[in-house]
Amino acid sequence: MENLKTLVLLQRLDQQLDELTILRGDLPEQIEDLEAELEGIRTSLTSADKFLKDADFQIDTLRIEIDAAREKTAKYKAQQFEVRNNREYDALTKEIDSIGRQIEEMEKKIEQIRNHKEESSKVSHVADPKIAHLEQELADRRAQLEDITRDTLDEERILLSDRKKLIEKTEKKMIDQYERIRSARDGKVVVKINRGACGGCFKVIPLQRQAEIKKSNKIFHCEHCGRFLISETLYDSFINGTPAK
């Protein structure tokens, strides 16, 4: 009976803690979402700024390579007038064609970098006001949550302390069952028999089982939903702190 009493009192504490959580609403989730969005924009902005810093250097490097390639092309073309046979001429032609393709690739790369620079500049232009807006919104949400938390902090501390004490004096097996059922059954773990039915799933309980539950000699679970079952009289006596009649 003592274990059952502990579970009833533990359930009441958890219900009170749940009510405090409800007061916060979805503010914690909103704050997490805003933080994630803000971090994403900042990461994009950092990447864009880094690219803009490197882009001109990359373009200058490619231009130098293009100029060197064109000089080499001019050199090979001049050599074509000095060759002694077709094989040497064809070899120079292949080199010139290969360098031409390299120049085309480098020119494409420069165009890609310029396009990327334009996109990165847009990111930088849009990100700053967006970040300012999100930072303000995040500050507002945090202030709202702080106000709510401040009003309920002492109450929550007391409830958590009482909860810890109950858990410490109860068998781990019972607590594990309690937590498992609580997670699966929307917080309703210990339920009263109501008009011959389980107070959780409302399935009818056989008369013999009802009589055994009222005797309170052992702990019973609902055969349908798995919740702990208790008589209304005993449940109320645990909640009110009065002897069961």
pLDDT digit string, tens, across residues 122-158? 887 888 888 999 999 999 999 988 888 887 888 888 9
Residue 188 neighbours by CB under 8 Å, 6+ apart: 11, 182, 199, 200, 227
Query: d(Cα 51, Cα 137) in Å, to the nearest integer?
Result: 29
Looking at residue 118, its pLDDT comes to: 86
Contact predicate 1/172, CB 8 Å? no
Residue 93 burial (10 A CB sphere; 0-12, 13-18, 19+): middle
Q: What is the topology classification, in CATH, of domain 24-160?
A: Helix Hairpins (1.10.287)
Query: d(Cα 2, Cα 219) in Å, to the nearest integer?
Result: 10
Mean pLDDT over each residue of the chain, to the nearest integer:
90
* Mean per-residue pLDDT pooled into runs of 10, the chain (245 residues): 86 90 85 93 88 90 95 93 89 94 95 89 84 92 87 87 91 91 91 92 93 86 93 89 62
pTM beyond 0.75: the answer is no
Residue 19 corresponds to which amino acid? E
**Rounded to whole angstroms, what are the CA distances from 241 to 12, 15, 235?**
13, 18, 10
Chain region(s) in the chain for CATH 1.10.287.1490: 24-160
Query: What tens digit of pLDDT does each residue of 94-124 get?
Result: 999 999 999 999 999 999 999 988 888 888 7
Looking at residue 244, its pLDDT comes to: 55
Query: d(Cα 65, Cα 69) in Å, to the nearest integer?
Result: 6
Which H/E stretch holds residue 220?
Answer: strand 220-221
Q: Which candidate, 181, 194, 145, 155, places its Cα nearest to that of 18?
A: 155
